[in-house]
Structure 1
Amino acid sequence: MDEVPADLATIGPGVYADIENDAYHSGPGISKSGLWTIYKQTPRHFKFPAPREESTQATAAKDKGTAFHWAILEPNTFEARAMRGPEDRRGNNWKDAVAEAKNTKRLLLTQGDYDDALVIRDTVHADAWISALIVSPHSQVETSSYWIDPETGVLCRSRPDLYRSDLGVMVDVKKTRSAHPDAFARSVIEYGYHAQEPWYTDGHLANGQAVNGFVFLTWEDKHPFVTARYELPPSIVDEGRAICRKALQRYAECAKADEWPGYSGEITELQFKRWSYQEIDAPIEEAA
């Protein structure tokens, strides 16, 4: 594992542990999420994102997500890192709990969120195969990989949820409304998980790390928190890699010119699928 520089702005190629999540996301390098924004929206959406919401609700959701990841990926240390607080975030009971959590350096959760995290932990690790894959001295949780893309010269970064260094296997944890195979396949395309897999694996390969497999561990966000594990076929991974290449090239061009365009400034005629026509016949030239 490489040593993190004192100034993250100077970071170079390597695999690093112990980079804080916020520092990673605000630091140098282009990530898969940035490329996906460029691909699905525009470079302007990437360069000038909407300010992050800082409401109590947004903070609670972020803390809940962090806790659930700990429960799944680092189950043996969850109780030491999280604190079971009051039923809700109102009143003096919550204020007192906030003070206690700060003093003990733990993440404060409502009773419900804490208990749900334990249920998710027990559900995931009831699967002996996935539990053995996650709980190992060879497991590297949320390490950060940086590399230079040889075609564009751009600094790239990725942060896989878990990497088993002895097996060369990555595990990516995904919360989902439905873990049914058909539903998750749609999520793969909608959220670009097929681009995420090659981006993560190529980043580790660029740093001399073997990658022999990639597993998506999905869990439903409502009781009973049903889980499933999936892998992607090579063809859809190749599609994701092509998406990354196209977006990365666009990013490099925008960065070089320091121009970040939005949608076309031209007046563009909209195109409609054949199913859009209900009362009249669709034009022959319209797409099927």
Structure 2
Amino acid sequence: MQPATPEHWECTNDEYHACPGVSRSMLQDMDNPLLFYQRHVAKTEPRKKITPSLKFGHDAHDIVLCPDGMGRNVIEIPRDSLSANGARMGKAWVHFRNDNAGKLLLKPAEFEPFERIMASIRGHDDAMTLFNACEEVEYAIRWTDRATGLLLRCKIDLLLHTCILDFKTAADVDARAFNRSIEYPSYAPQGYDYQAAFYRMGVKAMFGDERPFRCIASRNRAPYNCELFTLSAEHLAIGEEKVHRDLRTLAECKASGRWGTATYGKNTELSPSTWAEASRKQYEVE
């Protein structure tokens, strides 16, 4: 059942992923309609595997965005609560685990990276100004896209009256490297411009205004520093084009029952890319 008006609802992460509606990560699978069909309609294709990098990002996300305050849901395991070889076993460990049920329990070596991430964020004046001004954490929105009639949903990390704030971990948070992850999907297919456009659609449907999209990016390896970025109007425009294109394609696939790519069943002629042409011309000059 689709909501007549946009709505916010309280939900756990599992409840959010189980509820009806197309999320941003689901819509990005429309890059290949057959993959979308197999993953989200027929459910014959498993979703993306959780790699160590993704696991680290998920844990960092839960720690930084803890509703009770940054880091209040994680506890470093005392060495005397571990076995002699440092394993999570023995009576001391069982007692410690039971006394801290519901918390993320990490060994000292596991805890250190997250401690350094939090320290970097706390030391970043502009990032902490936004954190302290945040009104909502993990804010879920469900709305109907007017152009296609599709039910959509998103869950925003941090919502302010002044902006949408997202938290990311990445291998490199240098401004140029992070910009490449937006511009070149083959380099790092996170689709931050896509996510920004999708979330802004949800906020506009819910509140009627357009807000900037900002991102706190924390490096997922030493020195675990963070940076704060704002996506430009140009990036947002490109993201909006991609989102609207995929929404149209999804609506067409659902209506027709055909889930092939635009070129499926056709003979497609290939031409050199802009990059290849530029390289050829440079070679000719040399």
- State the SS of the aligned residue for 1:207: helix
C-alpha deviations, 1:17-57, integer Å up to 9, x for none? Answer: 53121222232111222222213xx1111121342477xxx
Task: Tell me, in whole angstroms, the C-alpha distance in 1 between the residues paired with 2:217 and 2:116.
Answer: 15
Check conservation: 2:74, 2:103, Cα contact below 8 A.
yes
Gaps of 5+ in 2: 40-44, 282-286
Gaps of 5+ in 1: 1-8, 283-288
Q: Quick one: which amino acid aligns to residue 151 of structure 2? A: L
- State the SS of the aligned residue for 1:160: strand
Q: Quick one: which amino acid aligns to residue 67 of structure 1? A: D
Question: Pairwise mapping of residues 49-60 of structure 1 onto structure 2 (< 5 A)?
Answer: 49=39, 50-52=45-47, 58=50
Matching residue of 1:43: 33
Relative to structure 1, the CA distance from residue 176 to residue 63 in structure 2 (aligned partners, 3 Å threshold; closer, same or farther) is: closer
Task: Tell me, in whole angstroms, the C-alpha distance in 2 between the residues paired with 1:178 and 1:128.
Answer: 20
Matching residue of 1:154: 150
Matching residue of 2:268: 268
Q: 2:179 aligns with which of 176, 179, 185?
A: 185
How many matched pairs? 263
- State the SS of the aligned residue for 1:135: helix
Give the fraction of aligned pairs with identical amino acids, expressed as a percent: 23
Question: Pairwise mapping of residues 2-41 of structure 1 onto structure 2 (< 5 A)?
Answer: 13-39=5-31
Matching residue of 1:237: 236
Q: 2:104 aligns with which of 104, 107, 112?
A: 107
Task: Tell me, in whole angstroms, the C-alpha distance in 2 between the residues paired with 1:173 and 1:225.
Answer: 14
> What CA RMSD, in Å, does the superposition of the two structures yield over aligned residues?
3.3
Question: Pairwise mapping of residues 251-262 of structure 1 onto structure 2 (< 5 A)?
Answer: 251-262=250-261
Matching residue of 1:4: none
Relative to structure 1, the CA distance from residue 209 to residue 225 in structure 2 (aligned partners, 3 Å threshold; closer, same or farther) is: farther
Task: Tell me, in whole angstroms, the C-alpha distance in 1 between the residues paired with 2:11 and 2:230.
Answer: 28
Give the superposition deviation at 1:258. 3.0
Matching residue of 1:171: 165
Task: Tell me, in whole angstroms, the C-alpha distance in 1 between the residues paired with 2:246 and 2:170.
Answer: 26
Relative to structure 1, the CA distance from residue 172 to residue 274 in structure 2 (aligned partners, 3 Å threshold; closer, same or farther) is: closer
Matching residue of 1:246: 245
Check conservation: 1:75, 1:121, Cα contact below 8 A.
no
C-alpha deviations, 1:159-209, integer Å up to 9, x for none? Answer: 111101xx3311111211111111111111322211211211121111125
Matching residue of 1:214: 213
Matched, 1:92 2:119: no
Q: Quick one: which amino acid aligns to residue 130 of structure 2? A: L
Matching residue of 1:202: 201
